Amino acid sequence: MPLKADLDAIDWKILRELQNDGRMTNVELSSRVGISAPPCLRRVRRLEEIGIIRGYRALLNAPALGMDVVAFCLIGLHHQADNELKTFAERTRGWPIVRDAWMVSGESDFLLHCVASDLGTFQTFVIEELASAPNVDTVRTALTIRRVKDEGLVAFSAS
């Protein structure tokens, strides 16, 4: 997985299109980026193989699935030694309510993106699991009201 891959303008167009619609057919994609289907497919395969494209995901509507609570938690630990950080990171992977987690620098050590069916479930999780976990010092919570912007991870210029 090279940290710097040489991508031309067509590669960037492919990435932009697949970030907007990851299920687009290859012929549609090739038409949009201006080449024929076979080289387009070869480029996509290459981008997958070198790790530029990490995978594909359906985006789900959490409220419609009965997941009414989306929240972020900022966690501060008592001790930030390397193995302590790894231990907590491993713990987050065992909590289904935690969907994404980041180790961060700043006022907190971890940021957790949480989804739960209702407020009671989330509060129980925060009190009985999160705040009770070893080495956890502070837990700050931000309940989401609504999503305001939802683009892919990488921005593309308007070319």
Residues at the interface with DNA (CB under 7 A): 10, 25-28, 35-39, 41-43
Instruction: Give the other-Cβ count within 10 Å of 71's Cβ.
Output: 19
Q: Which does 132 bind (CB under 5 to 8 A by kind): a second copy, DNA, none?
A: none
Tokens 């009965």 belong to 66
Q: Which does 148 bind (CB under 5 to 8 A by kind): DNA, a second copy, none?
A: a second copy
Q: Are 75 and 84 in contact (CB under 8 A)?
A: no
Q: Are 114 and 129 in contact (CB under 8 A)?
A: no
4 binds a second copy (CB under 8 A): yes
In 3D space, the residue among 154, 153, 150, 152 whose CA is nearest the CA of residue 62 turns out to be 150
Q: Which helix (H) or strand (E) holds 113?
A: strand 110-116
CB of 40 to DNA, least distance (A): 7
Show the site string, 82-101: x = touches a second copy by CB under 8 A, - = not: -------x--xx--xxxxxx
Residues that bind a second copy (CB under 8 A): 1-5, 7, 15, 18-23, 50-67, 70-72, 74, 89, 92-93, 96-108, 110-111, 115, 140-155
